Structure 1
Amino acid sequence: MTCSSCPSTEPFSPSIPSPAPPAWKGPIPPPTPMQAPTAQVMLPPIGQRTRPATIDGADWSGTAAASARSSFDPRDALSVLTTNLFQSNAKGEAISASLFRAPLGCGLLLRVMSPDPSTFHTWTLPNGIRCVHLEDGRNVGHCGLLIEAGSRDELDRENGLAHFIEHSLFKGTGKRRTFHILNRLDSVGAELNAYTSKEETWITASYLSEHLGRAVELIADIAFHSTFPEREIAKERDVIIDEIHAWRDNPGDAIFDEFQSILYPNHALGRNILGDEKSVGGFKRNDILRFIDRQYRNDRLVFSSVGPMPAKQVKRLTEKHLSARQTQASRGERSVPTGYSPVRREGDHAVHQVHAVIGSPGYGMDDPKRTALMLLSNHLGGPGMNARLALNIRERHGICYNIESSYFPYADTGEFTVYFGTDVKTFARAERLVMKELRDAREKRLGVVTLKQAKQQIIGQIALGAESGSGWMSTMGKSILMYDRVRPLEEAFHAIEAVTADDVLEVANEVLDPDRLSALVYFPPRG
């Protein structure tokens, strides 16, 4: 068992005139005036990053492999796009596949990478747990239990509890001790995994298909029958506190956690997933049981599976191992973060170069503009070596080894960031160049060729990411949780094709507005 949460293109066309920046609109509230810079700050405890990671696994979020909060990764798009981007296009209009022509050369791509809709099987158990299975031809299977409970669901005194529970699930059940839990799948070469993000917890397994029954039974046992022995909880406190200390030793990651505290002040989304020494040190067994009773309700659970097994076999296993659990319906809704004010914050830290993050709140999963923002982010600072930030700052000026932009939506908000690291002597110049790129994005409409290439690039990246069976398992689970259906990739591609240059310009003027941008800078000790 491993705990995964222990955690672009040608230049803008200058020949096409740009319209005046649009009037303020959309769900992002107008900012309050920027606060004055602070010369030095006390750095808060560092927690767990939540951007989807670049690993071959479920939703790629909140994991240790997300060490590069790096630029857009194609597997991020597979989950983000197919689960929540495409019930509408960038103008909020319903999408009909018959209304759009697939991009040039995309017909074969769609046939190769998009599963036959008839191979998606969904059902709901009598107790309300939803299930989805995708039949494919590979002999390796993946399954997981998605729980809609993450660090944003914690009360103030519970900071770090969702992640603490994820650790403690493996410490014993009514019929197994820790060794028996860990050995159950490892002994047949399979993998048992779990991770916590801001909005969810996953328990997953990967295995040869013949061991599906073993995996389903084990996941059900630890999710529903963990006993949380006090002696194990005491040991796990020390383990997680060590994890917090290790996280603080990685400033390239820590800076993103602190930046989230700027984006989401006085809200659980702004707190780190790991918690801090005080909160973790005080957790008791009763705290765990209260959180599970409040958050692990059956209508918040989805079982997702990918593999060659017939759907009837998977359904029988879920009925056998998952249907006995009874809970009440969920109560209440998540609070929406408010109160953002842009701020520039600088501080000395134990680093050898300057680390900087510039960004602002973005669109949530239910916002029709998120497709255009993802396209813009990928164009500015995605993984391609031809991304504008990489070309115009790293390649042309040679002053940043790591420079990238990213966009990640939550259920009701999101975040856009640009990260770069550089020498103290070149920091001011690098920051000016970054701000110039953001200004160009606001003022210059993408040309026809550039926009087409940006779309083709992101579609190709998604195609590469769609090779992951465990990625499909995660994508289906989140789609069922949010929309009660699996969204085919065709919808994602049609939505990308529907984005116009005006759509991109509009989101650039909203999200990249200089009066909305915050900045967080870690300097090496300055004497």
Structure 2
Amino acid sequence: MSYKTHTSSNGIRFIHIPGKRVAAHCIVMINTGTRDELANEHGMAHFLEHVLFKGTQKRSSYQIINRIEEVGGDLDAFTTKEDTCVYATFLPKHFERAIELLSDIVFHSVFPQNQLEREKLVINDEINSYKDSPAELIYDEFEELIFDGHPLGRNILGTTESLKSFNTQAIQQFCQRTYNTDQIVVCVAGNISYSKALQSFNKYFSTVAENKRRWKRKPFKNFVPLHKTIDKNTFQAHCMLGTLAYSYNHKDRLTLHLLNNILGGGGSNSRLNMALRERKGMVYFIESNYNAYFDSGVAYIYFGTDKEKLEKALSLVLHELKKVREIPLTDKQLSVAKNQFYGQMALSFDNQESLAMNLTKSYMVFKKIDDLDVIQKEIESITAEDIIRVANEIYSEEKLSSLKYI
């Protein structure tokens, strides 16, 4: 995998990924998300991501939107528990237009109060749409259960009440405190030369005043498994089962990713899908997932089923977890699992935008990027005993929390 990196004197990092596709991408990823909000700022990271597009010192919101869209490109953003990402997709000949615009909205937005009030209405609608979708809402409420009382447990959108206090000054203060130059990675991917990309990066990002991070994230401690049932007026029952898991830098992170793929990852041949859907017809959708964070993580299983089948379906899930804790994979099973896991990862790298996003995140977290052959060797080194050990560390029944909507 070919790429080049550079770090400016203000701490902003740059990564260039050459490509020959029709589209090119420019990504600005900031190591700031929901967990970095103060108690009175719930939802501000996501709100800031929205209002970055509402006007800069030299552009109106209309001009921001049209700067990329009028040449056929796309401008978008998202917020997670730990990241904010603003990115553009465009034809390579419009690269200068894209990178200058991203720099302008990240560093020179003015957050006019009238625009903030209008955007609060938009986000309130977004909050209400989640409340109408229990299959989505349960994920947020489950992490709130796992990370009880900690910022990692907060939902990303905030609440109708918390949005009311947001104003221009509060947004500017949050941006100044958290959009630190040593916590920003800029990625350029596509048919744009390294020299041209670096020249533009230096022009629009290296000149930004240094603002390095002086504070540290508050770690989550004292996890206690909890079980909660909420009465919902829905046709289906929804269930989440899971626990605390490994952080980004844990030595067994990749083993847990492999175990997750075996249990309920992206394939229809996952153990949970085979046990509950294909053999029993008890669920339409079931999945497992593992989200790693800076200093923690969460592993979980979700499924929806008829209310009268909930306890039976849950017992089948617990049975599958017992099997991965107690019965080692055969050599053939392990080989198939590794090939599937690696193949899915390699194919995802064929999508240039997905590749750029993943590599930007990797460079931010690890300050390096591993080639596919390095990752493949790490996967091949995982043993059946490793999977048993990790399954017992993570999916021990007494460590599991549960959330049910009935």
Does the pair score TM above 0.5? Answer: yes
Within the alignment, does 1:310 sit opposite 2:199 as a pair? no
> In the alignment, which of 205, 219, 228 is matched to residue 345 of structure 1?
228
Partner of 1:428: 311
Distance 1:296 1:366 in 2: 23
Within the alignment, does 1:165 sit opposite 2:78 as a pair? no
- Aligned pairs for 1:93-108 within 5 A: none
Q: Residue 339 of structure 1: SS of its match in structure 2? A: coil
TM-score (norm: length of structure 2)? 0.98
Within the alignment, does 1:462 sit opposite 2:345 as a pair? yes
| Structure 1 segments of 4+ aligned residues over 6 angstroms from their partners | none
Cα-Cα RMSD:
1.0
Distance 1:370 1:125 in 2: 31
Structure 2 counterpart of 1:235, which letter?
A: R
Partner of 1:383: 266
Partner of 1:148: 31
Distance 2:47 2:95 in 1: 27
Partner of 1:489: 372
Within the alignment, does 1:473 sit opposite 2:356 as a pair? yes
Partner of 2:325: 442
With 161-170 and 320-329 compared, the bigger mean Cα shift is at 320-329
Distance 1:362 1:181 in 2: 40
Structure 1 counterpart of 2:23, which letter?
A: V
Structure 2 counterpart of 1:244, which letter?
A: I
Offset of 1:390 from its aligned partner?
Answer: 1.1
What percentage of residue pairs aligned between the two structures are identical? Answer: 38
Within the alignment, does 1:327 sit opposite 2:210 as a pair? yes
Q: Residue 228 of structure 2: SS of its match in structure 1? A: strand
Query: Could you give the per-residue CA deviations for residues 318-340 of structure 1, whole angstroms, max 9, x where no partner exists?
Result: 11111221033211211111122
Offset of 1:241 from its aligned partner?
Answer: 1.1
Partner of 1:273: 156
Distance 1:420 1:329 in 2: 43
Higher helix share: 2
Query: Could you give the per-residue CA deviations for residues 294-314 of structure 1, whole angstroms, max 9, x where no partner exists?
Result: 111111111111111110000
Q: Residue 146 of structure 1: SS of its match in structure 2? A: strand
Structure 2 contact 146–226 (Cα < 8 Å) conserved: no
Structure 1 contact 264–339 (Cα < 8 Å) conserved: no
Structure 2 counterpart of 1:311, which letter?
A: Y
Query: Could you give the per-residue CA deviations for residues 415-452 of structure 1, whole angstroms, max 9, x where no partner exists?
Result: 11111111112111111111111111111111111111
Distance 2:8 2:230 in 1: 53
Query: Could you give the per-residue CA deviations for residues 345-388 of structure 1, whole angstroms, max 9, x where no partner exists?
Result: 11111321110011001111010111111111111111212111
Structure 2 contact 73–88 (Cα < 8 Å) conserved: yes
Offset of 1:519 from its aligned partner?
Answer: 0.8
Give the paired residue count: 406
Structure 2 contact 11–212 (Cα < 8 Å) conserved: no
Structure 1 contact 259–357 (Cα < 8 Å) conserved: yes
Offset of 1:139 from its aligned partner?
Answer: 2.7
> In the alignment, which of 357, 380, 392 is matched to residue 509 of structure 1?
392
With 320-329 and 285-294 compared, the bigger mean Cα shift is at 320-329
Offset of 1:480 from its aligned partner?
Answer: 2.3
Distance 2:354 2:281 in 1: 35
Partner of 1:111: none
Offset of 1:478 from its aligned partner?
Answer: 1.8
Query: Could you give the per-residue CA deviations for residues 64-111 of structure 1, whole angstroms, max 9, x where no partner exists?
Result: xxxxxxxxxxxxxxxxxxxxxxxxxxxxxxxxxxxxxxxxxxxxxxxx
Distance 2:383 2:29 in 1: 35
Q: Residue 397 of structure 1: SS of its match in structure 2? A: coil
> In the alignment, which of 14, 17, 20 is matched to residue 131 of structure 1?
14
Higher relative contact order (CA 8 A, sep 6+): 1
Query: Could you give the per-residue CA deviations for residues 106-126 of structure 1, whole angstroms, max 9, x where no partner exists?
Result: xxxxxxxxx2xxx31111223
- Aligned pairs for 1:23-102 within 5 A: none
Query: Could you give the per-residue CA deviations for residues 443-471 of structure 1, whole angstroms, max 9, x where no partner exists?
Result: 11111111111001111111221111112
Q: Residue 313 of structure 1: SS of its match in structure 2? A: helix
Q: Residue 174 of structure 1: SS of its match in structure 2? A: coil
Return 5+ residue gaps in structure 2 as ranges: none
Partner of 2:127: 244
Structure 1 contact 262–340 (Cα < 8 Å) conserved: no
Structure 2 counterpart of 1:439, which letter?
A: K
Offset of 1:282 from its aligned partner?
Answer: 1.2
